[in-house]
A = this chain, B = another copy of it.
Amino acid sequence: MKRVLLAAAAATLVFGLHAEGLHVEERVDLSMTSRIRQEAFNHSQVMALLGHLTEQIGPRLTNSPAMSQANDWTRSKFNEWGLANVRDEAMTDAFGRGWEFRSASVELLSPRAYPLRALPKAWTPGTNGPVEGEAIAAKIESKADFEKFKGKLRGKIVFLSEARPYKPGEKPDWHRETDETLGEMKALAVPVDQTAEAREEARERRRKRYEFTPQLNQFLIDEGAIASVSASGWDNGIVLLSGGGSRKAGESVGVPSLAMSAEHYNAVMRTLARKEPVRLRVNVDARFTSETDQPAYNTLAEIPGTGPHKNEVVMIGAHMDSWHAGTGAADNGAGVAVMMEAMRILKAAGAKPDRTIRVALWTGEEQGLLGSADYVSRHFGKFAETTDPEELKLPEFLRTKRGALQPGRDYEKLAAYFNLDNGGGKIRGIYAQENMAAAPIFETWLKPFNDVGATIVTQRNTGSTDHISFDRIGLPGFQFVQDDLDYFTNVHHSDLDVYDHIVAEDLKQASAVVASFAYNAAMRSEKLPRKAVIAD
């Protein structure tokens, strides 16, 4: 295989990749690339956008008042920049209730007085002022455990998880890819078959948890517990948390529930193990902001296409919702700021794209890619529901069977979707999701950003964020490879997910790459190639 730079004249990069039976030629407008880089690197607004989103608005739990503010504010910025079709699109099904918290404290009263570090889980009630009680260790993992603790929890603060040994941080918290690790990332492991038994076991575990959670919520209420506490999944005082209770109107929200720093949690558990009473005061100011389930909203805006393919669309996106321990700066304020900035840059650079470029700021990603999945199903297509009566008894997320792909009205109109959601680190390349035909195109598009560290195309499938909503119905949806920084060591879903852990230069770089990819996809003679949808 041989690569040749065919020509870089007239500010156009034509990059050819030749191999037996394989020839790709891909053009990049280097003049526009240069304008994009200039704007991104020298007139950046990305950190100001991130600052407003995270520190004026704050964390953006799906359907919280702050998420509504973020919808409003991002629309107003898009309008200010002259984008078209600025709008919120409601999800088809009501998402659930809104929730927010204002403050939370847990005070150790005995054996000594000290403030403990804990934050409330989403969609759990507040305490309605300070409440005091004794801690009790109660590992309740199934209905069978209810008998053990019946009559013992009244007025108690229930410590639900076991003490968790401290794990020393033997690797650096902060991690950037090197040429070596990027090289390794290009290798793809051929997938291992999962046995039918293992799959069934995993589904059974999920089903049991799904059934057990509301039972436990109700048990704690019926037994008169005043709060429950779980240990944070991370050490060093970091509080890692997500949701508890229930966001659905009519379901039991349980008692006030908190995640506590592992060091403080373990101290309580050790004191209980020494048969010493532990007395606590808990004060959580949290509230549901609606009585009924409400729709959740994606925010969208466009630079309309002006060429022969103006009815086709290139999308870029990131999720605007976040968890609430920090301010959702890395997950995914960074992605939102970069996507907004990419649109601003394209306007500032005077881009008149052939295809329409549309930005989407998703809701409900943290609850299962809900905003993007709903959007994709309404605009681009979805799988029909299974007709298996056994499967239909299960909630959708537990089903293993699906019907046929039903392309939607715009299925053929989507040229590409690009997503950014692995924290605040700069872009090092892109996951091609086993779309072999897309790889040489991306290699060409990355060339003008090789000098700022974006170099690799890997065929790896990366998951767990909104490009999957596109990818799973065969649309060309992609996520960028990013430097981790401290995303997977300290920041992800924790109270350290805040502005200071974001690097301005990294977001400037990412903004330029995203703007350029969107522009290239909008100017290309063809839509990006698609891969086949694999049947079950």
Contact = CB atoms under 8 A, between A and B. Distances in A.
A486 interface: yes
Interface in A229-286: 235-238, 262-264, 266-267, 270-271, 274, 276, 285
Contacts of A51: 270, 274
A66 B111 CA distance: 11
Interface string A102-126: 1111010001111101010000000
Interface stretch (A27-35, A151-159, A201-209, A492-500): A492-500
A166 B501 contact: yes
Contacts of A114: 58, 102-103
Contacts of A104: 115
B499 A236 contact: no
Contact of A55 (B238, B271, B285, B327): B271
A414 B102 CA distance: 60
Interface residues of A, number: 52
A21 interface: no
A103 B108 CA distance: 8
Given A102-B114, A103-B115, A112-B66, A56 B500 contact: no
A172 interface: yes
Q: How many of these chains are in the complex? A: 2
Contacts of A58: 111-112, 114
A305 to B, nearest CB: 36
A260 to B, nearest CB: 13
A485 interface: yes
Contacts of A112: 55-58, 66
A2 interface: no
Contacts of A465: none
Contacts of A56: 111-112, 271, 274, 276
Interface string A489-511: 01000011011110000000000
Contacts of A237: 236-238, 495-496
Q: 5 closest Cβ contacts across the A-B interface?
A: A102-B113, A169-B173, A168-B174, A166-B500, A58-B112
8 contacts: A56-B274, A58-B112, A115-B119, A165-B500, A173-B173, A236-B238, A237-B237, A264-B498
Interface of A: 51, 55-58, 66, 101-105, 107, 111-115, 117, 119, 165-166, 168-174, 235-238, 262-264, 266-267, 270-271, 274, 276, 285, 327, 485-486, 490, 495-496, 498-501
